[in-house]
Copies of this chain bind each other. A is one copy, B any other.
Amino acid sequence: MARWEPGAAGRLREAAVELFARQGFDQTTAAEIAAAAGLTRRTFFRHFPDKRDVLFAGEAALERALVSAVDEAPEGLSPLSLIGLALDRASDVFVDMPRDRVRARQAIIDSDASLLERQREKYAALARAMGAALARRGIGEPAATLAAECASVVFTVALTQWLADGESRSLSVIAAEVLAELRALDVPR
């Protein structure tokens, strides 16, 4: 697999996904990940507090993308339109990521209950950050929380579709389509 992330942290993340996928999460140590990345165990722990966190380091960029899109949006938009801008900006975080690597990462997370729980916590934190950004724009409760939770649901559904076998559309196209489906939920059928 070609290197796609420069720098020590990126090399550690890449090596971690490869090793976890090949030999299992429980069977892989931080020292092995560091060695595979040509780095020391000490360097590993300078970048990540524990073995689990090497899988979730990307969530900070995602939060920055979601929140900055809401902060910078023009006035007079509906909460769902703000969510649309945020999801579009968040999709950009995935543009240069090889889909197979994100798929491998998700398969590792799905294989371990404690990793799934960590992912749920990370998503809940993203939703709280979105809710706070919406509140800063004067959107009251419960609208801010509802909109942030809707963003989380749309993003989760879109990401699952993006990772599905045979899917070739970009995440931003899929997220826009899922948001349109959410907007159409009040149409009788």
B145, A157: Cβ atoms closer than 8 Å: yes
Q: Which B residues are in CB contact (< 8 Å) with A146?
A: 153-154, 157, 178, 181-182, 185
A183–B183 alpha-carbon span in the complex (Å)? 9
CB distance from A6 to the nearest CB of B (A): 36
Chain A binding site: helix, strand, loop or mixed by DSSP?
Answer: helix
A53: Cβ under 8 A from any B Cβ: no
A178, B142: Cβ atoms closer than 8 Å: yes
B143, A181: Cβ atoms closer than 8 Å: yes
Task: Report A78-105 CB contacts with B as 1/0, cut-off 8 Å.
Answer: 1111000000000000000000000000
A143, B184: Cβ atoms closer than 8 Å: yes
Return the contact of A153 from the options B153, B181, B185 (Cβ within 8 A). Answer: B153
CB distance from A144 to the nearest CB of B (A): 10
Task: Report A113-125 CB contacts with B as 1/0, cut-off 8 Å.
Answer: 0000100100000
Return the contact of A147 from the options B117, B161, B178, B185 (Cβ within 8 A). Answer: B185
A78, B161: Cβ atoms closer than 8 Å: no
Q: Which residue of B lies closest to A124 (CB)?
A: B120
Range of interface residues on chain A? Answer: 20 to 34
Task: Report A139-155 CB contacts with B as 1/0, cut-off 8 Å.
Answer: 10011011101100110
Q: Which B residues are in CB contact (< 8 Å) with A77?
A: 188
A80, B186: Cβ atoms closer than 8 Å: yes
A157–B141 alpha-carbon span in the complex (Å)? 10
A166: Cβ under 8 A from any B Cβ: no
CB distance from A139 to the nearest CB of B (A): 7
CB distance from A119 to the nearest CB of B (A): 12
B189, A78: Cβ atoms closer than 8 Å: yes
Residues of A that sit less than 8 Å from B by CB: 76-81, 117, 120, 138-139, 142-143, 145-147, 149-150, 153-154, 157, 161, 178, 181-189
